[in-house]
Each structure stands twice: as structure tokens, then as C-alpha cells.
Structure 1
Amino acid sequence: MKIFRHQRKCREKTRKNGTTHKRNGPEKSKTPAETPTPINFSYKVVQIPETAPTPPPRPAPEKTE
């Protein structure tokens, strides 16, 4: 109940000011969204080529010869 009451107060404050709560929203959302994107890309790109193409080509030519 206390949390709900606090949320109500926060909403009323935002309505009156119009910038108190909105300022914290986009700034916080931008930082985490930009960090996971490059990390995920690098992880996938490095793991896929180093794990797949390396083991199969080595045993193939040895067996053929």
C-alpha cells in the first residue's frame, strides 16, 4: 500500500512539473540499450567463426589423404 501511495504522489508531481520524472526516463533507458547491443554482437561473431569452421576442416583433409 505504501508503494502505491508513493507512486501516486510521484505521478502527481510529474503532472505538475512535466520534467521531473521524464528527464530520468530516457537517459537511463539509453545507457543500458546501447551497452548490450555491441557486446552481444561481438560475442556471437567471435564464437560462431572460431567454433564452427576450425574443427571440421582439419579432420576432413587428413582422412581423405
Structure 2
Amino acid sequence: MTVVGSDCFAETVVTDRLSVRGVAEAVAESAGLGLAPSRGGTVRRGLRRAHVTLRHVRLG
């Protein structure tokens, strides 16, 4: 666990009041990276969420 003590983890992101998107933006900014815009719209996001939900349904 020597990596945790190194400088690459020198900044802490407080996530208590941030959305997932906010956390992603904060981490990307801290790392000097840009985030690509979402490739899907509202319909695609809804279909992806429904697909994941159905994949996790257990029958029996």
C-alpha cells in the first residue's frame, strides 16, 4: 500500500454533497483531464438503465 501514501493521491475530493457527475468532474479536473460529452440522449440513457435493471432480475 505504498501507492496510497504517494503524491498521486495528494488531493482529497469531498463527495458528501456532490453528484456522480460532480465527482467525475472534480477527479478529472484534479488529474488534468477533460471529460467527453455523453454520447446518448435521454432515450438512450433510459434504455441502458432498463437493460441493466432487467439483467439483474432474478427469477425463481
Q: TM-score, normalised by structure 1?
A: 0.29
Structure having the higher helix fraction is 1
Q: Which has the larger radius of gyration?
A: 1
State the structure with bigger RCO (CA 8 A, min sep 6), 1 or 2.
Answer: 2
